[in-house]
Amino acid sequence: MAETLHIAGVHGALKDLGWNQRKLAEAVGVSPQTVTNWLKGQDFPRPAALLKLSRELKLSFDQLVMSEAGEPIIAFRRKAATKTTAEHFEKAKNIGHLLRSLVPVLDTLDEAQTVFRTPTCDYDNVERLAAGRRAALGISQDAVIDYAQLIKAFRQNGAVLVPVMWGISKRHENALHILLPEENVTFVYVNLDIRVEDFKFMMAHELAHIFTPTLCGTNGGEDFADAFAGALLFPKELAEVTHKKCHGKSKNECMGILQSIAAAQRVSLFTVFSQVSAYRLRHGCDLLPVDATTIHMVRNAAPGETVSHSIWGALAPKPELYIDAVRERFDSPFFVALRQLLQSGQGGAGYVQQVLDVSRADAVAIHTALTH
């Protein structure tokens, strides 16, 4: 894959930092001549150096690197405290190239996709866009959103869900978003081994990426996706009511109110707290008597059911049950297309292993279920 540094972006970042090329070379741990070669397009940084460049210049991977037209565009929904590396992007792009073989046999809806023209993080703008999507889904501003309703929005916008079982804590990401720009198809990998309320937020976050393809893979895109997901799941109308209920209450009383409302709306405690806090900032209201640290402690103290457990229980499902659930519960054509591709003689267990990013044993079991 032909990739080059975004030279103008690097020079802009150096100017903002007040650095010259020699200072950059020292920060990255290479010679000044190496930096010169990079900026002349005569050489390209190795993954470790590319990661250091990204950190030192405060540029995302896609701000730092220009790829050939049609390269897969990547966005991660990473787990807390994990870091996205150049190797993560490279691996995801390779998956994207492999997915191109599936596109000709995919059953996707050929409808006009929703694209936000003003995807800024301004509070009123985000709330307006989220309210529009609720209306499109036929959901009132105070109604509970079920993740089945979010699945419908993916299908309507030509996105292919790929539900996977990546475990609770072993992965860097809980979701992987791969946009194939030439084919105009998006694959969204979602980890079923996370809590139900977190899964809903992740789905809403990924929907935001679908609605803002030009921001996909950028820091601004991640910020907007988080803001949109919160507003979609817990709109300002609910935030206003919640803030009024908490007014004048003690810390413990406020915590009880937030927990009760989070349970009623089937969203995370942190989503409720964040949306009420955003509403408060917008309207200049009083502070809540609780903080984010306390919210996280209370939330993490109570175990939550994962999506996979809610579907199959404690035991891992047989491949056939997993494949059926992807088609029936998540309205995804992924395994239908994969079965057709494999039965035509293209690909084998190795291909399954790579596109699903699972163990060899799991890939062989899924391959067998799809071809026999």
- What pLDDT score does 237 carry? 96
Least trusted range by pLDDT, from 7-21, 242-256, 347-361: 7-21
Q: What's the pLDDT band for 323 if we cut at 50, 70, 90?
A: very high
Tokens 């791969």 locate to 178
Instruction: Give the up-direction half-sphere exposure of residue 350: CA atoms within 13 A in the CB hemisphere.
Output: 2
Tell me how far CA of residue 76 lies from CA of 118, 191, 221, in angstroms. 22, 12, 11
Tokens 């809403």 locate to 204
Cβ neighbours of 90 (radius 10 Å):
15
**Where in the chain are the domains?**
3-68, 88-231, 236-301, 312-371
> Which residues, other chains included, contact 25 with Cβ-Cβ below 8 Å and sequence gap of 6+?
31, 32, 34, 35
Burial class (CB within 10 angstroms; exposed 0-12, middle 13-18, buried 19+) of 15:
exposed
Please, are residues 113 and 166 in contact by the beta-carbon 8 Å criterion?
A: no
> pLDDT for 347-369, tens place per residue?
889 999 999 999 999 999 999 99
Please, are residues 173 and 78 in contact by the beta-carbon 8 Å criterion?
A: yes
Among residues 139, 164, 97, the alpha carbon closest in space to that of 308 is found at 164
Judged against a pLDDT cut of 70, whether residue 234 lies above it is answered with yes
Please, are residues 62 and 217 in contact by the beta-carbon 8 Å criterion?
A: yes
Q: What's the pLDDT band for 3 if we cut at 50, 70, 90?
A: low
> pLDDT for 191-212, tens place per residue?
999 999 899 999 999 999 999 9
The residue-averaged pLDDT of 294-313 equals 91
More confident residue, 252 or 347: 252
Per the prediction, the chain carries an average pLDDT of 89
Among residues 67, 336, 359, the alpha carbon closest in space to that of 217 is found at 67
The residue-averaged pLDDT of 140-169 equals 90
The residue-averaged pLDDT of 138-166 equals 90
The residue-averaged pLDDT of 58-73 equals 73
Query: Domain 3-68 - what CATH class?
Result: mainly alpha
